[in-house]
Structure 1
């Protein structure tokens, strides 16, 4: 698994880790400040580490979806055709969530929620009042990714809806100087708006199935490869049901999930582990007759034993 980042001194660092059934182990780190992160440089670094570990011990290389990583994957395929290069599931699912959150219907609610929480946390008086009415419980909760944090904030707002309404309609808030400001009146309008809370509920119904998959693939407690494809199929069904089978509502979301999954989370490796996973194979008879998955098994074997 590779990851590139910058430290506090703005040095460009590339890390390599190995993941197996025993967990994740740090393998190597390289400073790349004087080098461009080209496909060739990434490939050479990864290939050198594959040689150290032993090519026969490597099933796949996992990176994010940046174009230079995708270029490196082609170089690896030429030299080591039996090793897969797979997009990071956490990164891909987060891209799905961000794209769905960018749709007008959901972006409006997320933006309103952000403005409300930023306003509350920007002032000592509003923060103290909020903690008083919520019994010292916070709204903002950190998640595994930036969008997961936004989702958790929406979830937290929904849980504290009654307390926030009591706060913004209280005598204490009415007497507070912040209540007379532009941002104060805007926050008040948001909290007492029925359409805002309805929008929050719809957002949670749409995002919750994907966030569950995000948590699964980001956790270390169980290998997730055999569940990714099957869970994304379940996500699509849950979202369609959540939006009352309204194609105009669910269509753009399903398109985003399918587009982001294509050639990233629906490779022959994903489909093979899906059809060989007893959780799906024995629970759903249709899985055995899935032509695409059966063809993927043949392709997978063809890669491992050309």
Structure 2
């Protein structure tokens, strides 16, 4: 796993970590302040760490969702065909929620809700009144299933790989169920378009499908969907 950040002295540092069934371990931090952060440079940095660990022991590289890292890891996968890149799932979901929050139907209620959030949390008895007066119900219907998924992928209790694909399909199903009201079809369509665009652009990797296929307790819940079952089998075959 790789993550870049800038410290108080203005240095751009890139952290490298390793995750395995034993847990997550810090490998090292590199000061890349004097480097141009283009795809070849970042690919070289990652490849050096992968070779240090052993190519046969590294299955996946996880980075942030920036365009430079997307180009970097495309180059890296060409160099090491057994490697898969996936961006940060939590970041992808954050971006989804931001996009949904920018929709004109939601932006004003969210702005109002932010103004009273602190007050409401200090006076819990007013929560029902807030729900009645602010009109944020549709926003909650659209975002709550994604927030549940965000908690799963951002948690440390268990590996989220087998959960990601299943939980995203389940979240979309719940969102569809949350908008049965007439006149909401267009709103639902636009919400799902935002989710699909972010997901397909960043997270639609065969590794997630293969992980779900190899976890029957999740996979069999979706097996009745012939299209999904075929997609998961194809993902597993591609990874294998």
Query: Is the shorter-chain TM-score for this pair beyond 0.5, marking a shared fold?
Result: yes
Structure 2 residue aligned with 1:295: 234
Q: Specify the SS of the correspondent of 2:152.
A: helix
CA contact (8 A) 1:18 1:26 kept: yes
Structure 1 residue aligned with 2:190: 252
Per-residue deviation at 1:49? 0.5
Q: Does 1:161 align with 2:126?
A: yes
Q: Which runs of 5+ in 1 are unaligned?
A: 121-129, 140-158, 166-190, 302-306
Q: Specify the SS of the correspondent of 2:10.
A: coil
CA contact (8 A) 2:19 2:25 kept: yes
Aligned CA RMSD, in angstroms, stands at 2.2
* TM-score normalised by length of structure 1: 0.72
Q: Does 1:207 align with 2:143?
A: yes
Q: Specify the SS of the correspondent of 1:98.
A: helix
CA contact (8 A) 2:60 2:84 kept: yes
Q: Specify the SS of the correspondent of 1:214.
A: helix
1:1-306 mapped onto 2 (5 Å cutoff)? 1-117=1-117, 130=119, 138=122, 159-162=124-127, 194-196=132-134, 198-199=135-136, 201-244=137-180, 246-286=184-224, 290-301=229-240
Q: Specify the SS of the correspondent of 1:264.
A: helix
Q: Specify the SS of the correspondent of 1:28.
A: strand
Per-residue deviation at 1:161? 2.5
Question: Higher mean Cα deviation, 280-289 or 1-10?
Answer: 280-289
Structure 2 residue aligned with 1:187: none
CA contact (8 A) 2:166 2:219 kept: no
* TM-score normalised by length of structure 2: 0.90
In structure 2, distance between residues paired with 1:8 and 1:138 = 34
In structure 1, distance between residues paired with 2:11 and 2:175 = 42
CA contact (8 A) 1:229 1:265 kept: no
Rg larger for: 1
Per-residue deviation at 1:55? 0.7
In structure 2, distance between residues paired with 1:59 and 1:20 = 10
Per-residue deviation at 1:254? 0.7
Q: Specify the SS of the correspondent of 1:243.
A: coil
Question: Higher mean Cα deviation, 33-42 or 53-62?
Answer: 33-42
Q: Specify the SS of the correspondent of 1:255.
A: helix
Kindly tell me: are residues 194 and 3 of structure 1, through their superposed partners in 2, closer, same or farther at Cα, counting changes over 3 Å?
same
Q: How many residue pairs align between the two structures?
A: 237
Kindly tell me: are residues 10 and 105 of structure 1, through their superposed partners in 2, closer, same or farther at Cα, counting changes over 3 Å?
same
